Amino acid sequence: MRHITRVTLGLLCLSALLGCRGEPSRKPPVHPNQNMDLQDKYKPQRESKLFEDKRAMRPPVEGAVGKDFLKVAYGVTKGAVASHDDRYLQEDDAYWRGLDAAGQPITALPAQVKADEAFMARGQQRYGIYCTPCHGQTGYGDGVVKTVGKLNVPSYHQDYMREYAAGHIYGVISNGSASQLMKGYKHQISVEDRWAIVAYVRALQRSQYGEPGDRAESTAQEAR
Protein backbone atom coordinates (compact mmCIF):
# COMPACT_ATOMS: atom_id res chain seq x y z
CA MET A 1 0.00 0.00 0.00
CA ARG A 2 2.80 2.37 0.91
CA HIS A 3 4.55 1.55 -2.34
CA ILE A 4 1.46 2.39 -4.39
CA THR A 5 1.05 5.67 -2.48
CA ARG A 6 4.63 6.72 -3.17
CA VAL A 7 4.31 5.90 -6.85
CA THR A 8 1.06 7.85 -7.05
CA LEU A 9 2.57 10.89 -5.33
CA GLY A 10 5.58 10.71 -7.61
CA LEU A 11 3.40 10.64 -10.72
CA LEU A 12 1.34 13.56 -9.45
CA CYS A 13 4.49 15.62 -8.80
CA LEU A 14 5.87 14.78 -12.23
CA SER A 15 2.57 15.73 -13.88
CA ALA A 16 2.57 19.04 -12.01
CA LEU A 17 6.10 19.82 -13.17
CA LEU A 18 5.36 18.88 -16.76
CA GLY A 19 2.20 20.91 -16.69
CA CYS A 20 4.14 24.03 -15.66
CA ARG A 21 6.49 23.93 -18.63
CA GLY A 22 5.94 26.90 -20.93
CA GLU A 23 3.25 28.45 -18.73
CA PRO A 24 3.44 32.27 -18.81
CA SER A 25 3.78 34.07 -15.49
CA ARG A 26 4.11 37.64 -14.33
CA LYS A 27 6.25 36.61 -11.38
CA PRO A 28 10.07 36.74 -11.70
CA PRO A 29 11.84 33.39 -12.18
CA VAL A 30 13.15 31.55 -9.17
CA HIS A 31 16.73 32.69 -8.49
CA PRO A 32 18.24 30.42 -5.79
CA ASN A 33 21.81 31.77 -6.06
CA GLN A 34 21.56 35.53 -5.64
CA ASN A 35 25.33 36.04 -5.78
CA MET A 36 25.85 39.77 -6.63
CA ASP A 37 23.07 40.06 -9.20
CA LEU A 38 20.74 41.82 -6.81
CA GLN A 39 23.29 43.71 -4.71
CA ASP A 40 22.41 46.98 -3.03
CA LYS A 41 23.77 49.93 -4.99
CA TYR A 42 23.14 53.53 -5.90
CA LYS A 43 22.11 54.49 -9.41
CA PRO A 44 23.08 57.81 -11.06
CA GLN A 45 21.21 60.88 -9.81
CA ARG A 46 19.58 58.94 -6.96
CA GLU A 47 19.27 60.22 -3.41
CA SER A 48 21.41 58.84 -0.63
CA LYS A 49 20.51 58.67 3.05
CA LEU A 50 24.09 57.96 3.99
CA PHE A 51 25.72 61.26 3.03
CA GLU A 52 24.87 64.65 4.48
CA ASP A 53 24.39 66.28 1.08
CA LYS A 54 22.00 63.46 0.05
CA ARG A 55 23.89 62.82 -3.19
CA ALA A 56 24.47 59.24 -4.28
CA MET A 57 26.98 60.37 -6.94
CA ARG A 58 30.15 61.32 -5.08
CA PRO A 59 32.80 63.79 -6.28
CA PRO A 60 36.40 62.53 -6.64
CA VAL A 61 38.54 62.47 -3.52
CA GLU A 62 40.71 65.58 -3.20
CA GLY A 63 44.02 65.08 -4.97
CA ALA A 64 42.77 62.20 -7.14
CA VAL A 65 44.37 61.87 -10.56
CA GLY A 66 43.67 59.64 -13.53
CA LYS A 67 45.46 56.30 -13.64
CA ASP A 68 45.97 56.29 -17.39
CA PHE A 69 48.20 58.31 -19.68
CA LEU A 70 47.63 60.31 -22.83
CA LYS A 71 49.03 58.72 -25.97
CA VAL A 72 48.40 61.43 -28.56
CA ALA A 73 51.73 63.24 -28.12
CA TYR A 74 53.74 60.08 -28.64
CA GLY A 75 52.11 59.08 -31.91
CA VAL A 76 50.50 55.97 -30.44
CA THR A 77 46.96 55.95 -31.81
CA LYS A 78 44.30 53.47 -32.72
CA GLY A 79 43.29 54.34 -36.23
CA ALA A 80 42.96 58.10 -36.44
CA VAL A 81 41.83 58.49 -32.83
CA ALA A 82 43.94 58.29 -29.70
CA SER A 83 43.20 55.10 -27.81
CA HIS A 84 42.33 57.08 -24.70
CA ASP A 85 42.60 60.59 -23.31
CA ASP A 86 42.00 61.43 -19.65
CA ARG A 87 43.77 64.79 -19.56
CA TYR A 88 40.89 66.29 -17.59
CA LEU A 89 41.85 64.08 -14.61
CA GLN A 90 45.56 64.88 -14.43
CA GLU A 91 46.88 67.64 -12.20
CA ASP A 92 50.54 67.66 -13.24
CA ASP A 93 51.09 66.78 -16.87
CA ALA A 94 54.85 67.30 -16.70
CA TYR A 95 55.30 64.65 -14.02
CA TRP A 96 52.56 62.16 -14.86
CA ARG A 97 52.71 62.36 -18.66
CA GLY A 98 55.94 64.11 -19.52
CA LEU A 99 54.00 66.86 -21.34
CA ASP A 100 54.00 70.64 -21.11
CA ALA A 101 50.96 72.92 -21.05
CA ALA A 102 50.73 72.74 -24.85
CA GLY A 103 50.68 68.94 -24.79
CA GLN A 104 54.22 68.58 -26.13
CA PRO A 105 56.96 66.39 -24.54
CA ILE A 106 59.01 68.29 -21.97
CA THR A 107 62.70 68.69 -22.76
CA ALA A 108 64.09 68.13 -19.24
CA LEU A 109 63.18 66.17 -16.12
CA PRO A 110 60.17 67.50 -14.15
CA ALA A 111 60.95 70.00 -11.39
CA GLN A 112 60.06 67.59 -8.56
CA VAL A 113 62.52 64.93 -9.79
CA LYS A 114 65.88 65.22 -8.04
CA ALA A 115 68.54 63.63 -10.22
CA ASP A 116 71.09 62.87 -7.50
CA GLU A 117 73.45 59.91 -7.23
CA ALA A 118 70.84 57.65 -5.62
CA PHE A 119 68.33 58.52 -8.34
CA MET A 120 70.81 57.67 -11.09
CA ALA A 121 71.70 54.40 -9.37
CA ARG A 122 68.02 53.54 -9.25
CA GLY A 123 67.72 54.31 -12.95
CA GLN A 124 70.67 52.06 -13.73
CA GLN A 125 69.10 49.23 -11.72
CA ARG A 126 65.67 49.58 -13.35
CA TYR A 127 67.26 49.88 -16.78
CA GLY A 128 69.18 46.67 -16.12
CA ILE A 129 65.94 44.85 -15.26
CA TYR A 130 63.58 46.12 -17.94
CA CYS A 131 65.68 47.50 -20.80
CA THR A 132 68.89 45.49 -21.21
CA PRO A 133 67.21 42.37 -22.68
CA CYS A 134 66.54 44.38 -25.86
CA HIS A 135 68.69 47.52 -25.69
CA GLY A 136 71.83 46.05 -24.13
CA GLN A 137 73.98 47.35 -21.28
CA THR A 138 75.18 50.40 -23.20
CA GLY A 139 72.08 51.13 -25.29
CA TYR A 140 73.33 49.95 -28.68
CA GLY A 141 70.39 47.58 -29.19
CA ASP A 142 72.58 44.52 -28.74
CA GLY A 143 70.70 42.81 -25.91
CA VAL A 144 70.10 39.10 -25.61
CA VAL A 145 66.86 39.41 -27.63
CA LYS A 146 68.86 40.34 -30.73
CA THR A 147 71.29 37.45 -30.29
CA VAL A 148 68.55 34.80 -30.21
CA GLY A 149 66.12 36.30 -32.70
CA LYS A 150 65.77 38.64 -35.66
CA LEU A 151 64.34 41.61 -33.77
CA ASN A 152 65.96 44.85 -34.95
CA VAL A 153 66.35 47.01 -31.84
CA PRO A 154 67.47 50.61 -32.58
CA SER A 155 70.47 52.14 -30.85
CA TYR A 156 70.02 55.02 -28.40
CA HIS A 157 73.13 56.59 -29.89
CA GLN A 158 71.71 57.42 -33.30
CA ASP A 159 71.36 61.14 -33.97
CA TYR A 160 67.58 61.15 -34.02
CA MET A 161 67.45 59.21 -30.72
CA ARG A 162 69.77 61.70 -29.01
CA GLU A 163 67.46 64.51 -30.08
CA TYR A 164 64.40 63.01 -28.39
CA ALA A 165 62.97 65.13 -25.58
CA ALA A 166 63.01 63.64 -22.08
CA GLY A 167 59.21 63.61 -22.09
CA HIS A 168 59.16 61.63 -25.31
CA ILE A 169 61.43 58.93 -23.86
CA TYR A 170 59.20 58.84 -20.78
CA GLY A 171 56.15 58.44 -23.01
CA VAL A 172 57.67 55.54 -24.92
CA ILE A 173 58.57 53.80 -21.65
CA SER A 174 54.99 54.34 -20.47
CA ASN A 175 52.98 53.58 -23.60
CA GLY A 176 55.34 51.83 -25.99
CA SER A 177 56.79 52.98 -29.30
CA ALA A 178 54.76 54.34 -32.20
CA SER A 179 55.39 51.11 -34.10
CA GLN A 180 54.35 49.08 -31.04
CA LEU A 181 57.51 47.00 -31.51
CA MET A 182 58.12 47.99 -27.90
CA LYS A 183 55.12 47.71 -25.59
CA GLY A 184 54.44 50.07 -22.71
CA TYR A 185 55.72 49.44 -19.18
CA LYS A 186 53.46 51.77 -17.23
CA HIS A 187 51.89 48.85 -15.36
CA GLN A 188 55.27 47.41 -14.35
CA ILE A 189 57.37 50.53 -13.68
CA SER A 190 56.35 53.35 -11.34
CA VAL A 191 56.33 56.97 -12.51
CA GLU A 192 59.40 57.84 -10.42
CA ASP A 193 61.32 54.85 -11.77
CA ARG A 194 60.40 55.75 -15.35
CA TRP A 195 61.99 59.15 -14.87
CA ALA A 196 65.02 57.46 -13.31
CA ILE A 197 65.37 55.33 -16.46
CA VAL A 198 65.05 58.45 -18.62
CA ALA A 199 67.90 60.06 -16.67
CA TYR A 200 70.04 56.94 -17.03
CA VAL A 201 69.39 56.70 -20.78
CA ARG A 202 70.52 60.32 -21.08
CA ALA A 203 73.67 59.41 -19.15
CA LEU A 204 74.34 56.50 -21.53
CA GLN A 205 73.97 58.79 -24.52
CA ARG A 206 76.24 61.40 -22.96
CA SER A 207 78.85 58.77 -22.18
CA GLN A 208 79.29 57.97 -25.88
CA TYR A 209 79.31 61.53 -27.19
CA GLY A 210 80.72 63.52 -24.30
CA GLU A 211 83.50 66.09 -24.57
CA PRO A 212 86.56 66.40 -22.32
CA GLY A 213 84.99 69.50 -20.79
CA ASP A 214 82.09 67.40 -19.52
CA ARG A 215 84.39 65.62 -17.03
CA ALA A 216 86.12 66.75 -13.89
CA GLU A 217 89.62 68.11 -14.67
CA SER A 218 91.42 65.15 -13.10
CA THR A 219 89.36 62.68 -15.12
CA ALA A 220 89.83 64.71 -18.30
CA GLN A 221 93.61 64.57 -17.87
CA GLU A 222 93.43 60.78 -17.54
CA ALA A 223 91.26 60.58 -20.68
CA ARG A 224 93.85 62.51 -22.67
pLDDT at 169: 95
pLDDT at 222: 40
Instruction: List per-residue pLDDT tens for the chain, 224 residues long.
Output: 555 667 677 767 666 655 555 567 777 777 777 677 777 788 888 898 888 999 999 888 887 665 544 444 444 444 443 444 445 445 688 898 898 888 899 999 998 899 899 999 999 999 999 999 999 999 999 998 887 777 788 899 999 999 999 999 999 999 999 888 889 998 899 999 999 999 999 999 988 876 666 654 543 344 33
Please, what is the Cα angle at 108 between 106 and 194, to 5 degrees?
A: 85
CA distances from 205 to 75, 77, 138, 140, 161 (A): 23, 28, 9, 10, 9
**What is the Cα–Cα distance from 74 to 36, expressed in whole angstroms?**
41
pLDDT at 79: 42
CATH code 1.10.760.10 for 107-214 = yes
- List Cβ neighbours of 48 (8 Å cut-off, separation of 6 or more): 42, 54, 55, 56
- Check: CB of residue 126 under 8 Å from CB of residue 196: yes
Quick one: which of 198, 1, 204 has its CA closest to 106?
A: 198
Domain boundaries, given as residue ranges, for the chain: 107-214
**What is the Cα–Cα distance from 131 to 128, expressed in whole angstroms?**
6
The residue length of the chain stands at 224
Residue type, 78: K
